[in-house]
Structure 1
Amino acid sequence: MKKKTQQFILLAGLFAFNVATPVLAGQTPDDIKSLKILVQQLIQQNQQLAERVSQLEKQLPVPNTPPVKDKVIEQQVAKILRHKEEERMQNEDFGHMINRYIDFSGLIEVEGSTSQDFEGVNESRFTLSTVELGFVGKMSDWASAHLTLLYEEDGDDKVLVDDAHIILGNTNRFPLYLNAGRQYVPFGNFTTNMISDPLTLEIAETQETALQIGFKAAGAYGSVFAFNGDTNEGGGDSR
C-alpha cells in the first residue's frame, strides 16, 4: 500500500512537470522560475504525504491480534477459573483419597429366640449378637493392611481387635504372597450359612498372631503358616 501510494503521488508530480515542460519553451525567465518553485513544492508535498502514509500504516493493528485490553481480560478470567479449579480439587482430595485407598465394611447381627424347658418354663432372648467394622487400607498394588473390630454381647461389652494383619504381594502379577499379623489361620474351611456358628467352627477355628506364606496361580492355592502357640507341660503354666 505504501509503495503504491508513493508511486501514485510521484507520478502525479511527474505528470504535472511533463505537462508544464512544453509550455516552458514560450515562457519568460520569471515564469520558468515560478514553475520550478511550483515543482519543488510538489516534490516536498509528495515527501510529506509519503511520511504521513508511513506513520498511519504503523498505527494500524496487526491482523488477528486482539487488543491489549482484551488480552488482559482473558488472562484474568483464565487465572480466576484456574484458581477455582484448584480450590475444588483441594476440597475433594480428602474424600477421593479415602475412597481410593480405604475400603469400609460392616456387619450387624441381631438375634431373637424363645424356648421352653422340660419344666415348662418359658425363656426369650433378644440380643445384639455381633457388630463388626472392617477397614482395608490399600497402600500400593503390592501392600494392604486389614483391620476388623468386633463387638459381641456376651456380658463384658468390650470392643476387640478381631483381625489385624498386613498382606505383601499381588497374586495377579506374582503367585507368592506374605501375610503377617493377628488372623484366623487357614486350618480348614469354616464357611457356613447358618445363623449360629456350628460346633466345628467353635472348636477348631484358630485365631493367632501368625506368619503365613502362600501362593495362588491358575486356580490352585495353598499356604504354610507358623505361630507361637500355648503349651502345657506336666501340669505347669501355659507357655
Structure 2
Amino acid sequence: FNDTYWNGSRELYRSVEDFKPLVQGETLSFEPGERFGYSNTGMLLLGVVIQSATGQDYFDYIRENIYLPAGMENTDCYEMDYPVENLAIGYVPAPDSPWKWENNLYKHVIKGGPAGGGFSTVEDLFRFARALQSGKLVSKASLEKMWTPHTARYGYGFSVESGPAGKVVGHSGGFPGLNGNLDIFLDKGYTVAVLSNYDNGASPLARRVYELIGSLPVNQTGNTQD
C-alpha cells in the first residue's frame, strides 16, 4: 500500500493481478534470509505465486483449500461496492476531534487479498488454528517449517515466540479502523483470537491474555492445569 495506491482509485484493485503494477520496479530492502521485516508486498507476491502454481484464481483456491476444509463459513474477501450483510464496519478517530469516530469505508480496500483486507470472525479463526494443527490444511513437515523461526522470531507467515507462555505462534495485523490478533499457545493448549473494529483495539487485550496464560502452570502432559 504505497503512495500510488493511496493516491489512486481503489476501484482499480480487485484481483491479485491488479496489484502487480504497484510493486514493479521495487528493489529488495535486504537479501532474503538476512533479517526480518514484515512486507505487504511479499504477501501479495505469494498470492501471485499461488495463482501461477495452481492455475486457479487466488480467491477460489483459498476458499476451496483453506476456508472450506477448515469450516470457516464467515470468512472471505468481499467487494465493498455495496453493503455486505453482517459485515462489521471499522472506525477511526475523526481528524477534527479525538472524541469523535468516523467509519473507514473511504480508506478500506475495495476488495481484500493476500496482503490483507479480508473479513473473518473469532470463531472462524479458532477453526483455522484447529485445522492447521490437525493436518487438514498442510502436512506436519510443512507446519514445522512454518512454525520454526528462520530469522528473528519469525517463521513462514507466523511470528514465533518462546517464554513463560511456552512456544506461541501467531499473526497480527491492522488497517485504519481494524485490528486483529491470533495466538496459538502450542505448549499450553490455548488458542486466542481477538478482533476489533477500531484502531488498535485488539492488540492490548491480546497482550493481556498472553500475559495471563503465561502465568498459568503446565502439568507433566503439557496441558494446562485447572
Q: What band does the TM-score fall into relative to the shorter chain?
A: under 0.3
Q: Which has the higher helix share?
A: 1
Q: Which has the higher strand share?
A: 1
Larger radius of gyration: 1
* Larger RCO, structures 1/2 (Cα 8 Å, 6+ apart): 2
TM-score normalised to the size of structure 1? 0.20
